Chain A
Amino acid sequence: MAAYIIRRVLWGIVTIVAVIFLTFLLFRVFPTADPATLLAGKGATTQRIAMIRQELGLNHSWLVQFWIYLKGILFHFNLGYSYYTQRSVLSEIGTALPATLSLTIGAVVLWILIGIPIGILSALKRGSIWDRTAMIGALTFVSMPTFWFGLILIYFFAQSLGLLQIFPGPGSYVGFTADPVKWFGALILPWLVLALTQAAIYSRLLRGNLLDVMGEDYIRTARAKGLPNRRVVYKHGVRSAITPVLTVLAIDLGALLGGAVITERIFEIHGVGLLNITAIGNSDFPVVQGTTVLAAVFVVVANIGVDIAYAYLDPRVRYT
């Protein structure tokens, strides 16, 4: 098991380095704005732009530039400096990350609390009015684009904007330490946007898996042995059926921690997603690269965590 974990971690590092390389390459190969020209300002002379190119190392070959960048990350944990704000990318991300964590973790908790029970009940009461209602609801939420759904919730429920004006609207987010009550209120609508669409996916996924698992021989054996139905369903059925759901959760969690761009933008939550989209608009390459690296790290870590969790959840899985 330990050997497996070490192997996964090492491959995880390789994956992250590959992501860094590809991102770096994309910015150099495809048409992008010249960062030196952007940084130099409108009145810059050619000499000034050339000087900036030298300062940023842009006059080196892209392979050398990549090596310099990689060294900075691996040995100094330095993601560079924002062309736009001149602050370190690490501090920019550090400022934005708490908001993204608040949004993501809250949404994950909510969609698990909603999606998992609905999926289980739908599977157990297959074909019932409950099952059909739940699945129609799930299909509806799955079909809604996040952007549109967010605007709809704002239109109906946001204070000073909506028809019913129940919840704080866009721009009301504050940090937890600044005002926990306001923090919570400001996240209700964004959490709902993320959670309801994701819960729909998870309920459908779990329902399908559980239906397959409940038809397995070992489930029949467990019932035949006289085990209580609750135990059969949860200890044997759900435990097996939930592993694919965990895989999806890992990917979703990692991706969202890299920034729920649309939700953050609509609700004006200054998290990593909004930081990223602003940086893209400003051609602020170091920040975009930094947030991409961050997202990759989260996805890799989350997947490693899930792989390890499999061994505990599913007794059929053993690692060497």
Chain B
Amino acid sequence: MRKYRSVAALAATGALTLGVAACGSSGSSNSSSSSSSGGSSGGSTAAAPKLPLKAGEDASAESLTGGKQGGTLTVLSSEGFSHLDPGQAYFALDYQVVYAMQRPLFVYMPNSQTELSPNLATTIPTAANGGITDGGKTVTVHIQPDVKFAPPVNRVVTAADVKYAMERMANPNVAGGYWTSYFQKAIVGAAAAKGGPISGIEAPNATTLVIHLTQPVANTIVQAMSLPGTAPVPESVAGPLDKHAPTNFGVTQLTATGPYMIQGEQNGNSITSGFTPGKSLTLVRNPNWSASTYAGPYKPPAYLDQINITNGGDPQVIGPQVLKGTSMVQLDTPSKSTVQEAYTKYPSQITFTQGAGDHYLTLNNVKGPFTNVNVRRAVYANLDRVAIIKEKGGALTGTPGTHFIYPGTSGFVQAGAYAGPNYPWAVHTSGDLAVAKQYMKAAGYPSGAYTGNATVTVVGSDNGADELAINQIVKQDMTELGLKVNLIQVDQSIMYSKYCMVPKAEVDGCPSGGWLRDFNDPYSILVPTFSTQAITPTANNNFGQVTDPTLDDMMQHAHLTIDPVQSAQAWAAADERIVNLAEAVPEDFDIQPNVFASNVHWVGDLWNEGGVNLAYTGLK
């Protein structure tokens, strides 16, 4: 999913200087040949950079047990939710709330970025247990027989409810955010679906779901079915609401299957008493939920009796409120001053999660000066990623990006881990103008500087001092190569929806495009952002309009590779090609901070930026 920088970053009161050096050493330890067109792949696999974390701050070391039953948690967030409808939920913030109320087929363990566990399902389908058959083209999922919808629906969930949930994502009034990316072409009969029955999704009995695929991509689809869109939805409730454009399911009414439901939902599924968009959301226990209905390692204790979420506060105030208060957590990204205060004064109340996505500079691959691969390599070589991380706040906000499959995702190690591929233009994380000039010469500019007439248009976000500074770094690094840069700085939502995601806007560069994987498969990182098929006239996530048939074939090959090890290697090869051709320039691998009160037993979802898992979090 596209990462939107949190509003919290707007109110930064100063750089987060933690008295530690930026992690520049992790990516710059490789020497390389001066070959201009190639380089050895899979450069030295440097270990993870040693972050200056204090005891308890490493999110990966969290304990899933330790909370006490009962209590009310107050959740503060500057931002609101986009969607509570599981079929529409798309952003990380939405997930934190939706997963407390819904039970998709599968879910990642909170303390793992890769371990998938059954949620509504009884087991993870594999070839060994007969869940994946037909050479990877059929997936059979068995669901728990005793999961019930919350009141007033009350009845037992059936496979038909999951079938309906998946089919409704194709309804234009629902427009599931990842339907077209992952399911539309993969499922038989889904290509032309508009919300009606899909032949490739069958529910032969109450507890069995069978998915027929157009290609042997079962492994990816199983991972994709951890997304909230596979949470069961009763057609009797959602059907009439889905006729409204856009649907009112999740706005005025909702049904829950998870440990919590929205207050008031028992009254005709109406959520208006417990949910005021942009203002507040109150979750209470779902009386029909039972902890005994989980077959795998994922078994949420659901400690809390009630969760009160309020939106709209100022990030500069929310952070201290949480740190000094009791029974509170912050849902969205804390401000830099809050992170600094927590790191120094409240180290037991902050965690840092690595592998929280990445950011990169996209370059227009089809028009303008960046159609030349060596010009792109020059930009890559000269971009000062260390400076970018410094502007973001230092070592605990990210590590220099060296390729595009980021930490915690299958294929990351094979792709070079933190060091990345060993290409001459890629290894200097602080930028190297001399190397960059060599590539400008190779591009046909003997002086080492661009001498053409074109002006490159770079559109960046103005949401915060750090964003503005990063835009200036990009501009300066390009200007040093002789490029004339027209920098346009606008609100991030405008940057995306009016410029970078619109090919017709003909933008040459978009700094700090953020991406967070939708599930643990490099498919969800590389295909939506670098494949030719992903290019659309609007809402286009392939900002640079990368049109590389060889890359498309490599990604398709990786997608169809069933063996996980071979698949990871194939994805790594695709990742390396993107670096090789400098089709975009990585900026950083993100690290996400999260803060909470001292009496909170915090459990965050590592797979979702470490954001709070409300079904596992409790009070001490």
Contact = CB atoms under 8 A, between A and B. Distances in A.
Given A37-B539, A46-B537, A46-B538, A171 B175 contact: no
A266 B490 contact: no
B537 A43 contact: no
A33 B497 contact: yes
A95 B321 CA distance: 26
A84 interface: yes
Contacts of A43: 90, 169, 175-181
Contacts of B316: 151, 266
Contacts of A283: 493-494, 497
Contact of A41 (B90, B498, B537): B90
B312 interface: yes
A39 B246 contact: yes
Contacts of A45: 172, 175, 180
Contact of A84 (B76, B178, B277): B277
Chain A interface: which size bin? 35 or more
Given A154-B317, A170-B321, A278-B312, A33 B493 contact: yes
B313 interface: yes
Nearest to A95: B276
Interface in B69-127: 76, 79-80, 83, 88, 90
A166 to B, nearest CB: 15
B36 interface: no
B58 interface: no
Nearest to A33: B497
A268 B312 CA distance: 6
A160 B324 CA distance: 7
Interface stretch (A48-56, A134-142, A194-202): A48-56
Interface residues of B, number: 53
B177 A268 contact: no
B248 interface: yes
Contacts of B496: 33
Given A44-B539, A85-B277, A169-B321, A278 B310 contact: no
Interface string A258-281: 000000011110100011001001
Given A46-B536, A48-B172, A278-B80, A33 B498 contact: yes
B325 interface: yes
Nearest to B280: A270
Interface in B319-339: 320-321, 324-326
B487 interface: no
B51 interface: no
A40 interface: yes
Complex A-B, nearest 4 residue pairs according to Cβ-Cβ distance, in ascending order? A42-B177, A85-B277, A41-B175, A268-B313
9 contacts: A37-B501, A40-B175, A43-B90, A43-B176, A44-B175, A86-B251, A95-B276, A161-B321, A268-B310
Interface of B: 1-2, 7, 76, 79-80, 83, 88, 90, 169, 172, 174-181, 245-246, 248, 251, 276-279, 310-314, 316-318, 320-321, 324-326, 488, 490-491, 493-494, 496-498, 501, 536-539
